Amino acid sequence: MDYITVLLLLSFVWTCIHLLKLSPIGRKPIVSSPETAKEVLHRNDQAFSGRAVLGAVKAHNHHESSVIWSPTSAYWRKIRKICTREMFSVQRLNASQSLRRKIVQELLEHVEECCGRGCAVDIGAATFTASLNLLSNTIFSTNLAHHGSTFSQEFKDIVWGVMEEAGKPNFADYFPALLYKGG
């Protein structure tokens, strides 16, 4: 090896060691006692409780009116309280017990019908339709799909597509300056 290569290698190693000493990785944590951790978490609870909103979700400002993506705020608390009180309270869920029994009975009838015809049962599609109907009845008081229809599969494909698009890496998530801010 020539001297320039050795010199460059040594300077590179020295720089890496120096940067590790300065970085949080090379230092001991500030939060070393339960009291300090409690204070840090209490003072910075908003920073730790929030989640990163992906660029795909921000595309048409869907994150501003969603219970899932909204930041913790008065609006979020109000929407969450409405959902808890009006849709998912113990009294509402107990009142909808007969509805859940009816949907499970429809699922069993669909399986029996398929067995009677000698055809295979797509358990995934059948349970997705039942789950979709449980949610739609809880929220909208009506079935959105029926066993044997193509609607539940189309809806499942749409939901799957949204999950795939939201999960794809997006340069704007890593470089926020790329986000479109126009009007």
Residues 90-101: pLDDT tens digits? 888 888 889 889
Q: Write down the H helix ranges in the chain.
A: 3-22, 34-43, 45-49, 55-58, 74-82, 90-95, 97-117, 123-140, 151-167, 171-174
Please indicate, yes or no, whether residues 14 and 60 belong to a single structural domain of this protein.
no
Please indicate, yes or no, whether residues 91 and 102 belong to a single structural domain of this protein.
no
- Measured CA to CA, the distance from residue 132 to residue 107 in angstroms comes to 12
Please indicate, yes or no, whether residues 56 and 45 belong to a single structural domain of this protein.
no
Residue 102: pLDDT band (50, 70, 90) is: very high
Our count of domains for the chain comes to: 3
- Looking at residue 110, its pLDDT comes to 93
Please indicate, yes or no, whether residues 105 and 144 belong to a single structural domain of this protein.
yes
Average pLDDT over every residue of 6-31:
65
- In a domain? residue 176: no
The model scores a pTM over 0.85: no
CA pseudo-torsion sign 25, 28, 30, 35: positive
Please indicate, yes or no, whether residues 42 and 61 belong to a single structural domain of this protein.
no
How is 110-144 classified by DSSP, letter by letter? HHHHHHHHT----HHHHHHHHHHHHHHHHHHSS-S
Looking at the predicted structure, is the pLDDT value of residue 46 above 70?
A: no
CA pseudo-torsion sign 79, 84, 87, 88: positive
- Looking at residue 17, its pLDDT comes to 75
- In a domain? residue 17: yes
Tokens describing residue 166: 């939201």
Please indicate, yes or no, whether residues 161 and 102 belong to a single structural domain of this protein.
yes
Residue 33: pLDDT band (50, 70, 90) is: confident
- In a domain? residue 139: yes
Looking at the predicted structure, is the pLDDT value of residue 80 above 90?
A: no
Mean residue pLDDT of the chain comes to 79
Tell me if 165 sits within 8 A of 57, measured CB to CB. no
CA distances from 158 to 52, 60, 143, 161 (A): 23, 17, 18, 5
- 138: containing domain: 97-167
Question: Is the pLDDT higher at 57 or at 123?
Answer: 123
Lowest pLDDT segment from 8-12, 22-26, 95-99, 123-127: 22-26
Please indicate, yes or no, whether residues 69 and 127 belong to a single structural domain of this protein.
no
- In a domain? residue 179: no
